[in-house]
Amino acid sequence: MQTPADPAGVCNFRVLRRQAESSTVRVGGVRIADGEFVVVAGPCSVESRGQILQTAHVVRSLGATMLRGGAFKPRTNPYAFQGLGWEGITLLADAGRSSGLPTVSEVMTIDQVERISDSIDVLQIGARNMQNFDLLRAVGRTRRPVLLKRGFSATIDELLAAAEYIVAEGNSDVILCERGIRTFEPATRNTLDLSAVPILRERSHLPVFVDPSHSVGVRRWIRPLCRAAKAVGAHGLLVEVHPNPAEAMSDREQALSFDDFGAIMDELDRIPIMSHAADLAPPSTYDSRATA
Ligand code: PEP
Ligand code: MN
């Protein structure tokens, strides 16, 4: 696969392609597609029945269309809260049913894939697993949509190559998610690469989300980046919201309160949706080999 013109060996996509419109991913009654802007909200970790139920109902009332919550958490520190595991999955699924919101949760290992797919609507592949190729193949064999997060040291084409693994197994319902990359800049947790949005839309037909929470890592900077994500052409957002941010058991510094989230949703209403990928670039302009 590796050629001098394509040193990373990642550009020979067989299934992913550029087309005039992004493909539509359907999750329950939610459409992720050109002309739509979908907001996925919820806590970093599911912590208790009360926490996830309250969050589900409040974010829904404020305009969120999907509910997120981690049950299996990829924590840097092995002694940090690791999530509630299967109990968390059950609580998230219950909160989704109770609120009517489809659910998103991270799957960390191959042996979790089937059981999580039984009750959770969207399988999240986290940044740290973006190049876990066997896991990518495993979610590619399910019928659940996959939210694929960009690894924090991954190039745009490496993200697309990871998506290709999933799509090549027969699951074309993949949503790409820019969640910040590691740079020399220490002021933020990661650097949000907003330029990835139009580039990903130019190079593939997959819808693109932005996760400002894990990108910037600081509550008060999430709001402007939500506006920017919509304005730059993202199909949706993933944001962390907690009933009591000061008590969040993971990613406390970036947890939005319900009030913060409501203010963001109000502001987003005033920003138009960038509806057609074709507005951004004609299909003929991208030759992947030229960039290798
Ligand atoms: C998360 O969404 O909770 C998460 C751990 O994200 P990432 O994989 O982007 O760090
Ligand atoms: Mn988190």
Gyration radius of the chain over CA positions: 18
Tokens, residue 54: 């309250």
Which residues of the chain have a pLDDT value below 50? 1-8, 278, 284-292
**pTM across the whole model:** 0.92
pLDDT computed for residue 255 by the predictor:
98
Residue 155: burial class (beta carbons within 10 Å; 0-12, 13-18, 19+): middle
Kindly state if the Cβ of 126 falls inside 6 Å of ligand 1: yes
- Ligand 2 centre to CA of 241 (Å) is 10
pLDDT of residue 135: 98
Sign for the CA dihedral angle at 275, 142, 65, 154 comes to negative
| Residue 235: closest CA among 182, 178, 286, 288 | 178
Number of residues that this document lists for the chain? 292
Q: In the beta sheet, which residues pair with residue 168? A: none
Q: What confidence score (pLDDT) does residue 235 get?
A: 97
Q: Which residues surround ligand 2, an ion (CB under 5 A)?
A: 44, 251
Question: What is the C-alpha separation between 282 and 273, in angstroms, rounded?
Answer: 19
pLDDT at 279: 55
pLDDT of the residue at 277: 53
